[in-house]
Amino acid sequence: MVGAMNCRCPVFFTTIALVLAVGPSCTSGSGDGAGDSETVGDGDGDGDGDSGDGDGDSGDGDGDSGDGDGDSGDGDSGDGDGDSGDGDGDLPACAGYFPADAVWCQDITDAATTADSDTIAAWLEQAGWGNNDKFQIDFSLEVLEADADTPRRSFEATGAFYTPDCDYVEMPVPEVGAIEGEAGYECVSDGDCHLIVAARDENLLYEMWRANIIGGPGGEFFGGCLAVWDMSVVYGDEGRGQGCTSADAAGFPIAPLLFTADEVASGSIDHAIRFILPNAHIRELIYSPPATHSTGATSGPVEAPPYGVHLRLRGDYPIDDLPSEGAKVVARALQQYGMFLADGGQIALTGQSDRFTDNKWDGLLAPQDLVALRPIDFDVIDHGALLDWGEQSCERVPLGTPP
């Protein structure tokens, strides 16, 4: 995740109504908040902060199991509090998180492409995906479920928290759960360590970058950028605020862009998918709606894809040649809904861990089942005029600020 801000703005207090009102301006810093480094990494690596997990390559593309698809979890639902549903039965129509009209669930089969679509695809074909130019899948991200009985925890904001981009409110922490790439809530690997919790009782989605809870779910809680999303809202091109980051560099929510083993087993993924590229392969400072943010770590030329770019797999791609039924399900979703460039890192495509799902990745979809997909196989969907992050300043009233 790439934070926009290194400065602090005046303190605001607001209710958790998630009204993204315009707040005071806070000039962007150098842009190296949370997404610049390309050193250690967790396979999804999106930070440019001092810990430098940036374009990490720990999911090295050579393993058979990916980087965390493990089914050794210690809970059945991932929330530790009972049922994994929302308490009311049906989940929201878009990926289980947002209304049906959300951009993540729009059919783009016949959507127009940009004038420079072929140029971008050709440039990326030469530059490569990252991860030694292998289109691999990262299965390390967790999404947990919370209800009214789930404890809410305050946290100590770290240097990976940026005002006004990030929200400072108590976060639900299920008794049974884990952060990205870890066995529990402690950030042992010093990776991105995303903590993602859908609180169905509040209809809010909590996504935190660089979470670290030491000593179990009730232990000392340190947190980086927390983005709180209202799951009843259809967010437009302004997202949570123009020029503002989230728990991902582009300013997107993470959960609705993750595909799960249960979706793949059902034979259908009905939403777009999250993907990442090395910072050097992302157009410098430029982003495309519906993204709201870029980062100073980006250094690609004008031919490179901008942050937030929406790619669609060509309709004539020979899907039947892919090595598994799971791979074919993902490929069909890439044709119908596409994938959004959400972060900087090495492992291109992001699925959800199977720790708390009914179906498991083993025998369903392997990390390298989509390596045949090349950048030249994709078109660039037109979402309108591009923006320069260097000319933006995040202006929003956050949900609380650290003391």
pTM here? 0.83
Least confident of 64-73, 165-174, 215-224, 383-392: 64-73
User: Mean of the per-residue pLDDT values for the chain?
Assistant: 84
- The whole-number pLDDT of residue 90 equals 81
Residues paired with 230 in a beta bridge: 204
Residues paired with 223 in a beta bridge: 157
Residues 82-123 pLDDT 10s: 333 334 558 889 999 999 999 999 999 999 999 999 999 999
The answer to whether 292 touches 243, Cβ cutoff 8 Å, is: yes
- In percent, how much of the chain has pLDDT > 70? 78
Give the number of other Cβ atoms within 10 Å of residue 382's Cβ. 16
**Could you tell me the pLDDT band of residue 351, with boundaries at 50, 70 and 90?**
very high
User: Any residues with CB less than 8 A from the CB of 120 and at least 6 apart, and which?
Assistant: 114, 303, 304, 305, 309, 380
**Could you tell me the pLDDT band of residue 329, with boundaries at 50, 70 and 90?**
very high
Q: How far is it, in rounded angstroms, from Cα 209 to Cα 225? A: 5
Which of 85, 80, 354 lies closest to 217 in space, CA to CA? 80
- The whole-number pLDDT of residue 89 equals 59
Q: How far is it, in rounded angstroms, from Cα 34 to Cα 249? A: 8
- In percent, how much of the chain has pLDDT > 90? 77
Residue 337 scores a pLDDT above 60: yes
137-141 and 349-352: which strand pairing? parallel
Least confident of 58-72, 200-214, 322-336, 376-390: 58-72
